[in-house]
Amino acid sequence: MKVLAVGAHPDDVELGCGAALLAHRARGDSVGLLVLTGGEHGPQGQSSRVSEQEIAASILGADLFWGGFEDGAVPEGRAAVAVVEDAIRATGADVVYTHSPRDSHQDHRSAAVATLAAGRLVSRILMYETPSSLGFAPTVFVDAAEHLPGKLKALRAHVSQVLKNQMVDLDAVAAQARFRGFQARLRHAEAFETERFAWDLSGAGLSGPRVDQHVSGIEYAPAAGRGR
């Protein structure tokens, strides 16, 4: 399986799907990160945030791509779509993670719109939550118990956001994983909305998500109908 995770700023991907990406790597999947801006308008300036993202990508075992857009000005139109298309093509991604389009930050909304357009031929698109998500209503959950420590380690690489300015609260991240795990009848989980998610039950080719089973280290669980 080949995976691409799209984020508007450094640390967005780690917040939204860091544990899922580590689970992908543990099962041997290739992972790419596309970060659309350098986060230059956030604390500490672009140079530190770029280097922080490079360290975090290394912790995740992911190839890192940059979109080159200005922080705060990610477009929804053709320019952003083309950048995401190029990343999908470069990674050969058959699974794409991105922002939820319902978000108070304009860059997050634009990243979601551009990814959904660029990924119109991709059969599995999962949309993650960040602290600025609005009305997030997850329908798919990934078991994060084994990889939550690695997710927190990747977030700690974003020193300017976590340690210096408290823009990211690691205790809140862990608590959210526990809450989403409770919803999914797991210990810890990451939660996703999905525009499109093909479920392969054939047992041939790529392993598809299977309810209540670990699939090569990744558990996908639906939001409802999981009585125990």
Domain region containing 77: 2-222
Instruction: Identify which of 45, 41, 111, 113 has the alpha carbon closest to the alpha carbon of residue 72.
Output: 41
pLDDT digits (tens, 9 = 90+) for 136-146: 999 999 999 99
Question: Helix, strand, or coil here: 204?
Answer: coil
What pLDDT, on the 0 to 100 scale, is given for residue 222? 52
| 228 located within any domain | no
- In a domain? residue 227: no
Per-residue DSSP letters for 89-151? HHHT-SEEEEE-S-BSSHHHHHHHHHHHHHTTT-SEEEEE--TTB-S----EEEE-TTTHHHH
Q: Say how many domains are in the chain.
A: 1
Task: Render each residue's pLDDT in the chain as its tens digit; 228 residues.
Answer: 999 999 999 999 999 999 999 999 999 999 999 999 998 887 665 568 899 999 999 999 999 999 999 999 999 899 999 999 999 999 999 999 999 999 999 999 999 999 999 999 999 999 999 999 999 999 999 999 999 999 999 999 998 888 766 678 999 999 999 999 999 999 999 999 998 899 888 754 444 443 333 333 465 555 544 343
137 closest CA partner among 145, 146, 128: 128
| Residue 116 lies inside a defined structural domain of this protein | yes
In a domain, 191, yes or no: yes
Q: Which of 150, 109, 176, 126 is nearest to 22 (CA)?
A: 150
Query: What pLDDT is recorded for position 226?
Result: 39
pLDDT at 39: 86
The answer to whether the pTM exceeds 0.85 is: yes
Cβ pair 101, 113 in contact under 8 A? yes
Residue 42 buriedness (CB in 10 A; 0-12 / 13-18 / 19+): buried
Note whether residue 157 is domain-resident. yes
Q: What pLDDT score was predicted for residue 217? A: 46
Which CATH number covers residue 119?
A: 3.40.50.10320
pLDDT, residue 200, reads: 81
- Over residues 131-184, the pLDDT tens digits come to 999 999 999 999 999 999 999 999 999 988 887 666 789 999 999 999 999 999
Residue 90 within a domain:
yes
- The neighbour count for residue 59, using CB atoms within 10 Å, is 17
For residue 228, what is the DSSP state?
-
Q: Rounded to whole angstroms, how far apart are CA atoms 16 and 60?
A: 13
Helix (H) or strand (E) holding 193: strand 189-197
Tell how strand 30-37 and strand 63-69 pair up: parallel
- What is the structure's pLDDT at 7? 98
User: For residue 73, which amino acid is it?
Assistant: A
